């Protein structure tokens, strides 16, 4: 199995200008990267002063590239209206000619990113909101009529321009079974906190028990200074190089991007 290589980019501080993100994505495509995925946060602690809007960044990536897969990695569905998110996703799929991937998750309140804005801080409640929101979102993206009244979301059928299919990747921490089971019902699993490449064997075995669809993606991310070689061709379909979150130096970021994926990847 060929492992595709991508970038996992925090649009913070020196990268908080969507024009810079678009420039980096164009450079990434020239350098041979396969994907370009952008973090989605409202705040990230005191060390981060500025954060760009993920949807504006995704539009910039769509317009500056021709082959890269891209998308938010990940957007917390419990703080979004599924009908609005569905329209954003379908519009980006059209804009990019079908290269948009929608990464979704619970989000994390470790710096008050939910509670500070009046959003739901309880991860168990957010888990229920995620499942209900996925039902609404996937219904809308399918083009089928939607008429949903739930505990957290109410949606009615809305008009959509016909759009390419939007793959959905779900995020979760390694060892937590609930996110893995949820992800297996969709198109991919972005696993957070996987420490050893040997753990990929156990993870792929666990996923196989839930019979994910053909073409299911297993996604991991690594620091630029980590040796990527042991992680390749061990079951992950994507290995991403993480850029950020702190003390981003634009010249150093450009060097990482321009260097392209490591040989043998």
In this prediction, residue 265 carries a pLDDT of 44
Judged against a pLDDT cut of 60, whether residue 47 lies above it is answered with yes
Task: Give the lowest-confidence range in 63-67, 140-144, 237-241.
Answer: 140-144
Question: What CATH number is given to the structural domain containing 47?
Answer: 3.20.20.30
* Cα–Cα dist 175/25, whole Å: 32
Whether residue 264 lies inside any domain: the answer is no
Angle of helix 54-64 versus helix 18-31 axis, rounded to 10 = 40
What band does 1 get if pLDDT is binned at 50, 70 and 90?
Answer: low
* Cα–Cα dist 173/123, whole Å: 13
In this prediction, residue 263 carries a pLDDT of 63
| Interstrand relation of 147-149 and 154-156 (parallel, antiparallel or unpaired) | antiparallel
* Cα–Cα dist 38/74, whole Å: 8
* Cα–Cα dist 75/85, whole Å: 10
Residues 189-239 pLDDT 10s: 999 999 899 999 889 999 999 988 889 999 999 999 999 888 888 889 999
* Cα–Cα dist 88/86, whole Å: 5
* Cα–Cα dist 153/155, whole Å: 6
Cα angle value 241/91/169 (rounded, 5°): 40
Task: Give the lowest-confidence range in 61-70, 101-110, 126-135, 254-263.
Answer: 254-263
Judged against a pLDDT cut of 50, whether residue 13 lies above it is answered with yes
Q: Number of folded domains in the chain?
A: 1
In this prediction, residue 158 carries a pLDDT of 77
Whether residue 21 lies inside any domain: the answer is yes
Angle of helix 250-259 versus helix 18-31 axis, rounded to 10 = 30
User: Which of 174, 237, 171, 241 lies closest to 203, judged by CA?
Assistant: 174
Residues 150-195 pLDDT 10s: 888 888 877 777 789 999 999 999 989 999 999 999 999 999 999 8
Mean pLDDT, residues 34-49? 96
Tokens of 178: 């609930």
Mean pLDDT, residues 123-142? 94
Judged against a pLDDT cut of 90, whether residue 103 lies above it is answered with yes
Task: Give how far the C-alpha of residue 143 lies from the chain's centroid of Cα atoms, to the nearest Å.
Answer: 23
Whether residue 265 lies inside any domain: the answer is no
Mean pLDDT of the chain: 93
Q: Residue 132 sits in which domain range?
A: 4-259
CA-CA distances (angstroms) from residue 120 to 82, 112, 131, 238?
16, 10, 15, 31
């Amino acid at each position: 199995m060929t492992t595709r290589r991508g970038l996992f980019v925090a649009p913070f501080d020196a990268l908080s200008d969507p024009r810079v993100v678009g420039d980096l994505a164009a450079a990434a495509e020239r350098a041979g990267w396969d994907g370009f995925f952008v973090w989605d946060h409202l705040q990230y602690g005191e060390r981060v002063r500025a954060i760009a809007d993920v949807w504006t960044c995704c539009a910039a990536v769509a317009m500056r590239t021709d082959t890269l897969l891209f998308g938010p990695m990940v957007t917390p569905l419990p703080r979004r209206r599924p009908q609005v998110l569905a329209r954003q996703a379908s519009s980006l799929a059209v804009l990019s000619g079908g290269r948009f991937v929608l990464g979704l998750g619970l989000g994390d309140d470790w710096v008050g990113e939910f509670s500070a804005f009046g959003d739901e801080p309880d991860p168990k409640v957010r888990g229920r909101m995620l499942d209900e929101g996925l039902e609404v979102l996937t219904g809308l993206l399918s083009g089928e009529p939607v008429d949903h009244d739930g505990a957290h979301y109410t949606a009615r059928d809305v008009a959509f321009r016909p759009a390419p299919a939007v793959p959905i990747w779900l995020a979760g921490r390694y060892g937590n079974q609930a996110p893995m089971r949820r992800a297996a019902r969709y198109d991919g699993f972005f696993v957070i906190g996987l420490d050893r490449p040997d753990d990929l064997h156990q993870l792929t075995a666990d996923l196989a028990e839930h019979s994910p669809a053909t073409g299911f993606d297993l996604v991991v991310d690594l620091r630029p200074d980590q040796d990527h070689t042991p992680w390749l061709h061990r079951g992950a379909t994507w290995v991403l190089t993480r850029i950020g979150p702190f003390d981003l130096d634009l010249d150093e970021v450009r060097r990482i991007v321009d260097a392209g994926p490591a040989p043998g990847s």
